[in-house]
Amino acid sequence: MNNPLTQQTLQPVRGRARSAVAALVLAGAAWAIQAVWQVRLAVAGMPASGPPDQGDGHHRPLTGLENAYHIVSSLANAVTLLCALAFLLWLSRVRDNAQVLSGRPPRHSWPWVLLGWIVPVAQLWVPRGIVVDVHQRSAPKERVPRAVNWWWGL
C-alpha cells in the first residue's frame, strides 16, 4: 500500500503569502479610516437632538456622519474577515508543505488551525504553536525566528 505522504508534493505558497500580506495592509488601512471617522464623530459631538436611542423605543434619525460611520465600520469588518481568511489559507498551505517536508503529521489536527483562534484559553497558545510547528518541521535545525514571538506578542 502506498504512503499518501510520498504522493504529495510541495504546493506554492508565494501567491497565498502575497494575498495575506495585501489583505493585512487593506485591513490596516480600513481600520485607520475607521479611526478617522471615530475622531470625526467625537469632534462633531452629540447632535442637539440627543443620542440615537431616545428611550421607550424612540430613535432619532442618524446624521450623515453617523450613517457614513456605519458603512465604513461594516467595510472595515468585512476586510478584516477577508484578511483572516487569507491568513488561514496561507497557514493551511504552509502547514501542508511542512508535513510533506518532514514526513510527519502536524502536532495539531486540522480543526485547530481554525478553532485555535476562537476557543477561549486555547487561543493563548495554539495559533503560535501551529506556526512554530510549521517552522520546526520545515527547518528542523533552525531556531524559531524572533519575529514569530514578536508577532504573537503583538
More confident residue, 31 or 49: 31
What count of other Cβ atoms lies within 10 Å of the Cβ of residue 72?
18
pLDDT greater than 60 at residue 3: no
Res 1: pLDDT: 41
Query: CB within 8 A of 65, min separation 6: which ones?
Result: 37, 40, 41, 44
More confident residue, 51 or 108: 108
Beta strand spans in the chain (E)? 53-55, 58-59
Domain positions in the chain are: 1-84, 106-154
pTM above 0.85, yes or no: no
pLDDT greater than 90 at residue 133: yes
Query: CB within 8 A of 82, min separation 6: which ones?
Result: 23, 26, 27
pLDDT 10s digits, 88-110:
999 999 999 999 999 888 988 88
Choose the weakest-confidence range: 50-59, 78-87, 104-113.
50-59
Tell me the β-bridge partners of 53: 59
Query: What integer is the mean pLDDT of 147-154?
Result: 90
Position 7 confidence tier, pLDDT thresholds 50, 70, 90: low
pLDDT-above-70 percentage for the chain: 95
Q: Which three cell numbers stand for residue 70?
A: 456605519
Res 50: pLDDT: 78
